[in-house]
Chain A
């Protein structure tokens, strides 16, 4: 079908229409770039509505429902309101970098969409280092916080920025270590390669520990609850973006929502199989639809956690990261590498011509799954032992205190 062909392979279509191959290539790449840059912008408008409705329903209220059918146009109304506000720059703030921070914030998130494989044939740029690119771009996001915190000329903004940077830099470590596991299993860092490696069995079943660690580290990286302390409204009054008002604040908020969605999108691509599904390769639009469904699973899960779980303190957050997540992710990588070697020696890996068959992947999946469950059981046992020791020590202290009070009462009574 000519239309289908044109949708899937635009430059070939242009060449057939008579354009020179160079210009056809250039136009098709330009179109790809424009699409990859504008689809997130349009998505974020819908996302904010989803977020508000979901949080509202969890809290037993209705959410926006006046502006447009079901409140769908509420985000546009908010954007118009923010556009019409006065553009304030605080006295003593560094004008240039004060205005630069929201731009870096949004750019860092949209850059992540360049490596997401939407269908089998449509991807922004199929880099051979796709996952590493994602991590590198995520680490650019920390620059914006420093710049925003400093240029506001406000010590609370600076304190908030310090806390935020400490949190983000710490949680990058388990994020990277958890991403090593799908790379080990797939043998490639390219996103399209990882999705193709999952045509037989999703990596979520082969590496659940890595998926959970990736999910939790992303919750911390994007500043969602329970790691909400980046902008804890009741405590540090919006942290590093206190001094931002109007549309600049709107850009910060939009980039945060988009970052959360992008993290869910990448989790779906890396662990749930991306665009793979029945008939996804023949009808590309179906692959897009599957990807949307899988992203929705992770995204709605993160929304649910945000609306229900209380905030953690900054020292609890750091202890959780360095004493639990980092050792767990290191052990996970070691166990997975060892088991992969065992699988290779025993010959349990599926033969290359049967790599997309679910049944052929089962032995490998079973071995890796057992390994992961052993790691989870060990981690839970260690945690239980530690918590129990703490609780017993507390109970002993209480008993001692009660004893002392009884003694002093007896001594005073005599």
Chain B
């Protein structure tokens, strides 16, 4: 009988709580009366998500490792735990507004959201490649199913299938990369890989196996964060999936994937120096440029934001290429801001989409600015933040990225990023043009007023402004987390 200390359970408390609530939802859904089913499961999911968020604070009080050193609680994992569970709370709120309006209020959607979050929680806390892989799968499979949850829509089914096929392909790459790394170093633990002699030799071009492993893992993760040239799936999946699920995909899994990006490349492979630097550099430039240029031509708001999310993955990779504590902190701060502004933007889209997502074209937003002043003002705020206008979180996120990149003397990359962020302004502005300056050519049906939507929107807007005006605490937290990440490899 293996003895498991109680503190281990506390260290994975958020995951335990979320799993428990996920299962509870599935249990409750059956016996609940048909009319009441959606409401009951929604409330349970919200309680579960909030409890998961709060239990991160409990987890944070017990730093250390658990389960044979496979799971680690440090500032880094707590940061991402908080970010991901907060995103899930917002998405559950959105779903509680969206699902009844679509007539698709089903408990399993809520349960899958929570299970997906469990996967992401394990992703950001794991320090062992097999564990990382397993948790990546938990989160991905939940997301595949969620993407197809508009069962009577061909687009949604197409999205799920595409996501599943390409996603499995990418995970296979990732797994192969793990195998190569194991072959080169004889271990799958992040800290031990970092100390393995083969990794340091890769710096001198001796150990091709390490580089091959790094390259394969980069492909797998590049797919998950939708970085070019692995971004092909993004627009179709974002368009087809139900809007709250798109919000979920663009926030949580992306942040979690970037977390393991950081763990593996800064944690495990940092001794290989900058051998993988050019990979990141090329992917950053491609993502920003392809994302922004393609977004210029989109008429569908969800597709536009899909391309914009590709571009934003590129900005994050710029900070990633900066190779250092500042870069890591910039990545983390940016992700926090991005999660807030992106979920906020998708919240508005989900709210106005109406039955069967009839209204997601740009022209449907004509004249909404004066009909729904509150929601439109919030959407405008999120768009301004995505552009990177001062006093919003998006601006400071970009500033920290540029700062880190310039500090690392990546001047060319920074200039490309800066020009890209100016190009991007055009398509974000276009949405505002429709909101406030166009008259509608067809009237859209009015969405039902909804309390949960208002709460989600208000929370995102407050977060964007808070990060934009008083960023200090978040930046300090991010820097502490970056230190925690680098601490174990003695850098």
On whether the two chains bind one another, the answer is no
